[in-house]
Every structure is written in C-alpha cells, then in structure tokens.
Amino acid sequence: MPNFQSLQLKLNRYPIVANDSLQAWNAADELLIEHWLRSPLTSPQRIILINDDFGAIACAINKAAQEISHRISIDWFSDSYVAMQGLQQNLATTDLNVELRCHNSLADLPIADLVLYKVPKILRYQQFQLEQINGSQTAGTTILASGMLRAMPASVFKSFESQCDDFSTSLAKKKARLIFAKTQKSRQIKVKPTSWQAQDYPYQLSEHSNVFCQGKLDIGTRFMLQHLDIKADRVADLGCGNGLLGLHYLTQHPSSQLSFFDESCMAVASANDNLKRNLGEKINQCQFVQTNCLEGVADKSFDLILCNPPFHQQNTVSEHIAQQMFKDSRRCLKNNGRLRIVANRHLNYKMYLKPLFSNINLVASNAKFVILDALC
C-alpha cells in the first residue's frame, strides 16, 4: 500500500526561494492523501479538491493514478494565485494522469463523488465553503477534510457538525486530524459578503469571506490611512485586501491612476466592489490584478506604492512575502518613486529595505506601528 513518502513527489513552495527551509506540504496533507490511498476505487472518481496549498494533494493523486485503472478527474478550487502557481509548478515535473480543471474560490462547484477539503484559517470562509459544497452536491456526498490541530479550534468542528451529516473525526496524528462528513441537502448560501460602515470614514465597505480583517478596520490600516498625503500620478495598493488604502488615496487625490494587487481572488473582487460602490465615477482610473506581489508588472510602472505587508504565506508565518513585495516594488517604481509601508514595530523591515533603496525615512510611529518611506 503506497503512503505519502513512497509516492516520492518533488514538491516546492511557490515561488521557489533559495535556502527555503519551509516545505510545500504538511502533516494534514499527508493524512488526507494516505486515507484516500487506503480507500479502494471501484469506479471512476470525480473529485472536488479545495484549498490545496501548493498542489501537494493534487500531485499525490496524480502520481497514484498511474497505478489505478479507473479514470480520475479533479476540479481544483483555490482563492490563492500563489497556490495555483504552486500546483502548476509541481505538476510540471510529472506526466498528467488525471483530468484536472482549476477554478477560483468564487466559481461554481460541479457535481462530484468525493470532496477533499483542507480546512482554511478563517472560520467564515470555511462556513461559506461548506455552504458552497452542500449547495452544489447531492445530499450524502462524502467530504474528507483535514487540518493541523493548531488551525482547528472547537468552532471548526462545531461548524462541520451543524452544516454536515454523519460528522466524525480521526485520532490526531503528527498534530493533524481528519474530519469525515456527508453533505446536507441545502441550496442556500447564507454567508454573504460583509457590509459595514468604516468608523470615521465615509465608506460603506464589503468583503468576501476570505479577506483580511472583515467588518472592521485593522489598526495598522487605520494608522496608514492618516498618512496618505503624498501626491503621485500612478499609484499601487499592494496587498490591497478590501482596497481601503487605495480607495482613500483616490478620494484624496482624484486625478491619480490606481492599481490594486492581491494574490487572493476574494480580496481583488472585494476591492473592485468597494471602489465601484464608493467611488464609481473613478472606476475607469482603477485596475484590479490577482498576482503574487507585483509578478507580471512592467518595470518602472509606479510613482508611489502603498503597502501593509502580510506576514503569512498560506498558513505559515513568514517574512518572504514582505521581502518579495519590497524587491518587486523597487523594480516597479520609477526613478524618483516611493514605497510607503506600515509595519508592526517589532518587524525589522528596514533591514530588507536598506539594500534596495537609497533612503529609508521614518514618516510616523505610534505604540504599535511605524510608517516608513523607502525612496528609490
């Protein structure tokens, strides 16, 4: 009986970073794959696979499919551009033995025989996805889910219990656990995008369920909003989330061109919704792009880049993304361009900015945050 190790997959995170000690899968992926490998296939299998971080689960099924006579199709769903690139990169090293279709997190799910599901970090997103699954499948379809224990508080299990039938769990192994459940008959999506009024600002905002800081103003964002007083023509909101920084910038500087970038499909969709809703007459001055940092953006495109950098990649705390954002910003800024960031005081981002930029200035600070300008 093959196990995860015996499949001998070559898996990398995306993008590949020199001397990266982080691996592209975790024990929750291993547990889920090994359970699937132990379930004998008696007929063709249509699989829906959701939140597969760097494509490890799809690659494992693809490899195992070499030895299986039944046809396997995978409809692969993710909110993340990075995850989708990770899947493509890791699959490119082998032959394709399955039918594979990739979709974003807002696309409709097709009918399947089995749903494989990695539990996401945000509970509202999990609730939305369980509603998506229930709403698209016949009642009684098997859901096999997995997650790391640290990312599965009691609320995760409660939500499975209330949204699915026949809920049970495995014992924990290597700090991961499986969840077994069946879909319930339901056609309703009750988890709608949030809708709220930003305190002290004249904006009505909304976010899809996987977007950073839903229904409230992040304190770092709030501090940055007070420091957008630099005039520039071409401006980027890098890691835009719901787009509030760019929205407020454009309100203050109505003749600027704004570009919003995020790797999350739901973030980009939310930023687009918020610009249309609050500054619809300026929408032709905006573009919205789902990408990894500024991948695919031409050199010297911007005069100013605004950024509240993330410190997670998928479920792992990491400064890689902030570093990549700084490098990409340097490349995409014009000669006299400026990167303005807000950062937690304890993060020593100056160390990464100094080798790239000619000057780093402290713009403002409070008990928790600093605002820095990096000048080209």
Ligand X SMILES: C[S@@+](CC[C@H](N)C(=O)[O-])C[C@H]1O[C@@H](n2cnc3c(N)ncnc32)[C@H](O)[C@@H]1O
Q: Does 235 bind ligand X (CB under 6 A)?
A: no
As measured in angstroms, the least distance from the Cβ of 262 to ligand X is 4
Residue 314 phi/psi, 5° resolution? 50, -120
Exposure of 255 by Cβ count < 10 A (0-12 exposed, 13-18 middle, 19+ buried)?
Answer: exposed
Beta carbon nearer to ligand X, 115 or 225: 225
Q: Which of 250, 241, 218, 331 is nearest to 290 (CA)?
A: 241
Is 85 a residue that touches ligand X (CB under 6 A)? no
Look at phi and psi of residue 22 and say left if phi exceeds 0, alpha if psi is from -120 to 50, else beta: beta
Q: Is 214 in the site for ligand X (CB under 6 A)?
A: no
Selected from 115, 244, 250, 305, the binder of ligand X by CB under 6 A is 244
* Residue that the structure tokens 């080798």 belong to: 355
HSE at residue 268, side-chain half, CA atoms within 13 A, is 22
Q: Check residue 137 for interaction with ligand X (CB under 6 A).
A: no
DSSP string covering 196-239, please? EEPTTSS-EE---TTSSSTTS--HHHHHHHTT-----SEEEEET
Q: Residue 293, interface with ligand X (CB under 6 A)?
A: yes
Tell me whether residue 34 or residue 263 sits nearer to ligand X (CB atom). Answer: 263
Work out whether 321 is an interface residue with ligand X (CB under 6 A). yes
Residue 53 or 263: which CB sits closer to ligand X? 263
Q: Does the footprint of ligand X cover residue 322 (CB under 6 A)?
A: no
Asked whether position 239 contacts ligand X by CB under 6 A, the answer is yes
Whether the ω angle into residue 310 lies within 30 degrees of 0, i.e. cis, is no
Q: Is 337 in the site for ligand X (CB under 6 A)?
A: no
245 forms part of the interface with ligand X (CB under 6 A): yes
Query: CB count, 10 Å around CB of 32?
Result: 26
Ordered DSSP codes for 163-202: HSEEEEE---BTTEEEEEEEPPP------PPP-EEPTTSS
Instruction: Please report whether residue 212 would count as binding ligand X according to CB under 6 A.
Output: yes
Is the CB of 156 or the CB of 293 nearer to ligand X? 293
Crossing angle (nearest 10°) for helices 27-38 and 56-64: 30
Tokens 């479920």 label which residue? 315
Residue 79 within binding range of ligand X, rule CB under 6 A = no
Work out which of 221, 256, 274, 278 binds ligand X, going by CB under 6 A: 221
Question: Per CB under 6 A, does 218 bind ligand X?
Answer: yes
- Pick the stretch among 44-52, 164-172, 240-248, 273-281 that binds ligand X (CB under 6 A): 240-248
Binding marks (x or -) toward ligand X, 260..289, rule CB under 6 A?
A: -xxxx--x----------------------
Name the site residues for ligand X (rule: CB under 6 A). 82, 212-213, 218, 221, 239-241, 244-245, 261-264, 267, 292-293, 308, 310, 321
